[in-house]
Amino acid sequence: MEFEISNGKVIVDDRFDECVTEPIEVAFLDNTVCELMLEEYQFDFNKEDFHSAIDNFINLDKRVLHNVSEFVYNYYQDILKYLTPDDDWYVEINTPNDVWKFVQFGCEPTVSRRESDNLIYISLGCHCQWEQEHGLQLVFKNGSFINKLGSYDGHLTNSDAYGNQELEDVIYKHRG
């Protein structure tokens, strides 16, 4: 089964109830080709919400990363507290703008609808040199901006991750 979207098709694998887009270039990732995994898409009440979020996501420019460089740098500094220069993961990053040199972006973002607000979120798992076990998760609300980042935990917001509604608009929650 297939569904048409503005940037190609969503293919449903009926054997596994999984949906994936055809390969699509993502602008802010230097036009890297990604296949987006869509959770519960075939059963969703408004597939257009998925399409809109995907359009937003693939058309973002690099400012989306620049806007959160300081938060990623804070994440790096929080992890650095547990490392010594002898550790394999140890890297020296001098400024927030330099963090991206140590991040490798994934190419299979996951698109899902969050129950509590019915909005679409796109989660992108990344490898980062300073935290090789848990990496870096970037979550994009409606595919438009990064609303959460930090070690990969699968949550779409910090309020979900910590069970605290006061953290709904917190992009990065310091460890400690």
Q: Which of 18, 23, 8 is nearest to 39 (CA)?
A: 18
75 and 47 both lie in a single domain: no
18 and 52 both lie in a single domain: yes
81 and 127 both lie in a single domain: yes
Instruction: Give SS3 for 58.
Output: helix
Indicate whether 174 belongs to any domain.
no
pLDDT band at 1 (very low <50, low <70, confident <90, very high): low
Indicate whether 48 belongs to any domain.
yes
Structural domain total, the chain: 2
Tens-place pLDDT, residues 9-57: 878 776 667 789 999 999 999 999 999 999 999 889 899 999 999 999 9
24 and 49 both lie in a single domain: yes
- The pLDDT assigned to 5 comes to 64
Indicate whether 172 belongs to any domain.
no
Instruction: Give SS3 for 13.
Output: strand
Q: Which of 49, 48, 19 is nearest to 36 (CA)?
A: 19
148 and 91 both lie in a single domain: yes
Q: If 0-12 CB within 10 Å is exposed, 13-18 middle and 19+ buried, where does residue 160 land?
A: buried
The answer to which of 3-7, 22-26, 118-122, 159-163 has the lowest mean pLDDT is 3-7
44 and 107 both lie in a single domain: no
43 and 74 both lie in a single domain: no
Tens-place pLDDT, residues 50-104: 999 999 999 999 999 999 999 999 999 999 999 999 999 999 999 999 999 999 9
- The pLDDT assigned to 92 comes to 96
Alpha-helical segments (H) within the chain: 47-58, 63-66, 69-80, 158-162
118 and 135 both lie in a single domain: yes
**Cβ proximity of 38 and 111 under 8 Å:** yes
6 and 46 both lie in a single domain: yes
Does the structure show a pLDDT above 80 at 176?
no
83 and 161 both lie in a single domain: yes
Q: Is the pTM of this model over 0.95?
A: no
**Cβ proximity of 128 and 118 under 8 Å:** no
90 and 142 both lie in a single domain: yes
The whole domain housing 14 covers 2-59
Indicate whether 83 belongs to any domain.
yes
Indicate whether 147 belongs to any domain.
yes
Torsion sign across C-alpha atoms 57, 59, 64, 66: positive
Q: If 0-12 CB within 10 Å is exposed, 13-18 middle and 19+ buried, where does residue 138 land?
A: buried
84 and 42 both lie in a single domain: no
